[in-house]
């Protein structure tokens, strides 16, 4: 249960709406029991009063009839208000949980998330947090409301007969204490299995959707769809198991309620308080017992969901409670102006005993242009990952403008460098929205404040063909830029770089996948842009190397200056 404490602490921010939902839930149960109890007494009293003309004329029909109407209207109103309040509280809690989870996730680096599949991460941030709504909606509210109602029912029945009140409330309290434990034990294994099955199915489904092109090209669709169907069958199997437990738990509660009705019928038949024979009060006791089923029924489902809630909380906590592998000094006043970069005796490995960089040293003076060559997998991208602090070196020093990278705040470090990666990600949105990522609007600026610059940059990178029509920047480019060719996507990445005025320009295979002519055009554009900037380019191709001040090649985790003339 300790794993739930951080989430319960977050709930305190919504205490008013949660309390409102709890009170309305209690009122709903109260009016439901009051309606059925009063109706049972009224029908019985009316039948007895009708046995003679004298009693019929003396009987007050209007007050209990008004009470029935009051309870009916109050029950309808409180039920509506209860659903409105509890679901509003649930949605606010889920929003709060997602914001909290994202704030915990954003400081984490690649080292924290390595080995975690994207589908699994998405499942934890969406499905597992959704599961946590059970904590308030299906655990706390039903349990507390039913416990309060047992106390209220005792006070009400004790007014007529203390022994009957003790008998009924003892049975209900025993069921409240024992049955949830039984249901938790029954739902623990299938609840965890259901969470795991959902995770596996969603991860596999995401893989199949994202890999449709490759699966179709290699005729592997049938094989992967068969695996997906197996995962789906496991999910349905676990859902069936949980549904069986739901049915069993409801049957057990109905059995308990039926037993309580029989017990109360027998005891009330002996007399209710001073009334012997009990008359209509016997019906009141029996109908109140029957009505108690409504307040006990949510208990059946409550603790079934506890196991899945605990597992979901644990899976979210596994991510959110990690200590960031890389930390920044948020109060640092340092700013980089020249982009001078130095790496001294840097050692780095993703896994122990598998070194990538071994004592690497490199110096880029302000305004210098340096290229690093090497085959795929030699450590070029790892080097840039260390410069951008995506990873942290196990040994060695990296400085920017003579100051250690770790002394910069994250905002200033990001502002000091522009990266053109070999993997360009485009968001599902318009051209303008994807370019705004590199040149955000200042507060108060209109939406089209940078349109002229956007259009100029797009023309510079050879995307003038996209600037057709009345509103070219409102062109929708689709998920991941699927409406564009690979070359056009890479050119947008270059356009983003041209929109940022950072002193250090880092190029990671910026022309990968482009033809020779386009490669020369893009590199010429980037080199002109970086005329007064410090530039570090990694590549395995020799284009534009004659424009570099120095060229290095990777050799066994270190750099060797090349003497070749390009």
pLDDT, tens digit, 9 for 90 and up, residues 464-521:
888 887 788 888 888 777 788 878 888 888 889 899 888 999 998 887 777 788 888 8
Q: What's the pLDDT score for residue 404? A: 92
Give pLDDT, residue 276: 72
CA 272 – CA 419 distance, rounded (Å): 83
Give CA–CA dist 82/72, Å, rounded: 15
The Cβ of residue 214 has, within 10 Å, a number of other Cβ atoms equal to: 11
Whether the CB-CB separation of 474 and 430 falls below 8 Å is answered with yes
Instruction: Give the pLDDT of residue 255.
Output: 92
Give the pLDDT confidence score for residue 565 in this predicted structure.
Answer: 53
- C-alpha closest to that of 465 among 450, 475, 478: 475
Given a cut of 50, the residues of the chain with pLDDT beneath it are: none
The predicted structure's pLDDT at residue 79 = 92
Angle of helix 221-269 relative to helix 304-320, nearest 10 degrees, comes to 130
DSSP three-state, residue 560: strand
Radius of gyration of the chain (CA): 35
| Contact yes or no for 280/41 (Cβ under 8 A) | yes
pTM for the whole thing?
0.74
pLDDT at 468: 81
**Exposed (0-12), middle (13-18) or buried (19+): which is 248, by Cβ within 10 Å?**
middle
Structure confidence at residue 566 (pLDDT): 56
**Cα(514)–Cα(537) distance, rounded to whole angstroms?**
16
Give 407-413 contacts, CB < 8 A, sequence gap 24+. 407/329, 407/332, 407/334, 408/328, 408/329, 408/332, 408/334, 408/336, 409/328, 409/329, 409/330, 409/331, 409/332, 409/334, 410/328, 410/330, 412/332, 412/334, 412/335, 412/336, 413/328, 413/336, 413/388, 413/389
- Distance (Å, rounded) from C-alpha 519 to C-alpha 539? 12
Spell out the domains of the chain, with CATH numbers in brackets. Answer: 2-320 (1.20.1560.10), 341-561 (3.40.50.300)
């Amino acid at each position: 249960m300790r794993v739930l404490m951080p989430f319960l602490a977050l709930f305190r921010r919504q205490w008013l709406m949660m309390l409102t939902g709890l009170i309305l839930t209690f009122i709903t149960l109260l009016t439901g029991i009051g309606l059925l109890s009063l109706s049972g007494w009224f029908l019985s009293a009316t039948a007895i009063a009708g046995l003679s003309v004298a009693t019929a004329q003396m009987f007050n029909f209007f007050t209990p009839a008004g009470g029935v109407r009051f309870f009916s209207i109050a029950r309808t109103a409180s039920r509506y208000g209860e659903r409105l309040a509890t679901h509003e509280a649930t949605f606010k809690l889920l929003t709060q949980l997602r914001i909290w989870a994202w704030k915990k996730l954003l400081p984490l680096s690649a080292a924290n998330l390595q080995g975690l599949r994207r589908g699994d991460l998405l499942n934890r941030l969406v499905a597992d947090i959704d599961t946590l709504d059970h904590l308030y909606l299906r655990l706390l509210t039903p349990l507390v409301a039913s416990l309060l109602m047992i106390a209220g029912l005792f006070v009400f029945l004790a007014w007529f007969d203390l022994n009957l009140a003790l008998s009924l409330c003892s049975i209900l309290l025993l069921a409240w204490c024992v049955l949830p434990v039984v249901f938790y034990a029954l739902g623990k294994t299938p609840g965890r299995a259901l969470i795991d099955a959902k995770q596996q199915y969603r991860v596999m489904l995401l893989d199949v959707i994202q890999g449709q092109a490759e699966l179709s090209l290699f005729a592997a669709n049938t094989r992967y769809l068969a695996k997906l169907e197996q995962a789906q069958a496991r999910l349905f199997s676990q859902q069936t198991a949980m549904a069986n437990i739901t049915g069993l738990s409801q049957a057990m509660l109905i059995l308990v309620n039926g037993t309580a009705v029989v017990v109360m019928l027998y005891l009330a038949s002996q007399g209710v308080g001073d009334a012997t024979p009990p008359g209509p009060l016997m019906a009141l006791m029996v109908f109140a017992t029957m009505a108690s089923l409504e307040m006990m029924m949510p208990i059946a489902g409550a603790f079934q969901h506890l196991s899945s809630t605990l597992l979901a909380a644990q899976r979210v906590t596994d991510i959110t409670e990690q200590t960031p592998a890389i930390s920044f000094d948020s109060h640092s006043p340092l700013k980089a102006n020249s982009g001078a970069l130095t790496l001294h005796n840097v050692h780095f490995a993703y896994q122990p005993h598998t070194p990538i960089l071994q004592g690497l040293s490199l110096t880029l003076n302000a305004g210098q242009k340096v290229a690093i060559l090497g085959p795929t997998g030699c450590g070029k991208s790892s080097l840039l990952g260390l410069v951008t602090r995506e990873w942290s070196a196990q040994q060695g020093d990296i400085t920017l403008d003579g100051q250690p990278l770790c002394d910069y705040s994250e905002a200033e470090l990001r502002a000091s460098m522009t990266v053109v990666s070999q993997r360009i990600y485009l968001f599902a949105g318009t051209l303008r929205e994807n370019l705004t990522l590199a040149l955000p609007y200042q507060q108060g600026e209109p939406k089209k404040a940078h349109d002229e610059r956007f259009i100029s940059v797009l023309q510079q990178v050879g995307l003038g063909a996209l600037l057709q029509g009345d509103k070219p920047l409102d062109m929708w480019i689709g998920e991941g830029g699927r409406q564009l060719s690979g070359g056009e996507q890479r050119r947008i990445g270059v356009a983003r770089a041209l929109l940022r005025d950072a002193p250090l320009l880092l190029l990671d295979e910026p022309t990968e996948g482009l033809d020779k002519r386009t490669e020369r055009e893009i590199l010429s554009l980037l080199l002109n842009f970086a005329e007064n900037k410090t530039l570090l380019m990694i590549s395995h191709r020799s284009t534009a190397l004659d424009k570099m001040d120095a060229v290095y090649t990777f050799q066994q985790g270190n750099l060797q200056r090349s003497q070749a003339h390009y």
